[in-house]
Amino acid sequence: MDNAEARREKADAVAAYNDAARRTPTATIPSQLGSTTRTPGVYNTAGGVFQLTGTLILDAEGDPDAVFILQAASLVTANVSNIDLVGGAQANNVIWQLDDSATLGTYSTFRGNILARSSVAVTTGVALYGRAIALNGMVTLDGTSHLPATRVTPPDEPPTITTVTSSSNPSRRGEPVTFTATVHGPTDSVVPAGQVLFKDGDTVIGSAYNSSAAPATITTSDLTRGAHDITAVYLNGGTAVNEAWTYFAPSTSEVLTQVVLNRRS
């Protein structure tokens, strides 16, 4: 990129940042975005820092042109966090306007365009569907040589659907339970290959590889008595489709409530 082109790109980024910053918020919301659903609008937070643990759902309510603008000083996403776009929402129409910085946690799935005044840190295994722009600092990408690799990509990869099942529910404390994740592409005949993480709430309890030869499974005997919110997160990966290598988008399963009873007496 020559100097003139670089200056144009910088000017466009500054204009986009300023446009997002001058928008009047339609709502002030809590700093924790996880386990919430937001409809189109302009959002800020009294705490100044948006945090994302778990899943944030952005629902366009059937309008593919709907715009979401989230204004804050900084953004920090937890490991294996996720943003789901539903109701026709488009990643290109999601703007994160940040006075300072953004840090995307390991293996998180992030959708939207980050416009940060200072810096953006994209850590190992992140799948970023959109853009990361730092006006006055650096965008750092970690883990591009790992599998699954950190990836910044246009938001047009084929979607996936992940489900998770249990071998025994309810189960007994101390007895083994096997969790199986099934990942499908746009059709049931396409099975995307790639790593799957299994979570108990916000804690990763194991990982396994999914392929057409075998689904991803883990077995654990460590669950304590009570109810556990189990999810499976397909991190992304590539599969040959009609002799062409195709990357598939990440997805997170619905919550499976695993009930663990006391040991047998």
Residues in the chain: 265
Name the burial class of residue 240, with classes exposed (0-12), middle (13-18) and buried (19+) by CB atoms within 10 angstroms of its CB: exposed
Q: Tokens for 245?
A: 């290598």
Alpha-carbon gap, residue 106 to 124, rounded angstroms: 5
Q: How far is CA 2 from CA 14, 137, 158, 231, 232, in A?
A: 18, 19, 34, 46, 44
Question: What integer pLDDT is reported at residue 256 of this predicted model?
Answer: 96
Give per-residue pLDDT as tens, 35-54.
999 999 999 999 899 999 98
Question: What integer pLDDT is reported at residue 245 of this predicted model?
Answer: 61
In the chain, where does DSSP find H-type helix? 3-21
With 50 as the cut, is the pLDDT of residue 145 above it? Answer: no
Mean pLDDT lowest for which of 6-15, 53-62, 159-168, 213-222?
A: 6-15
With 70 as the cut, is the pLDDT of residue 136 above it? Answer: yes
Portion of the chain with pLDDT greater than 70, in percent: 90
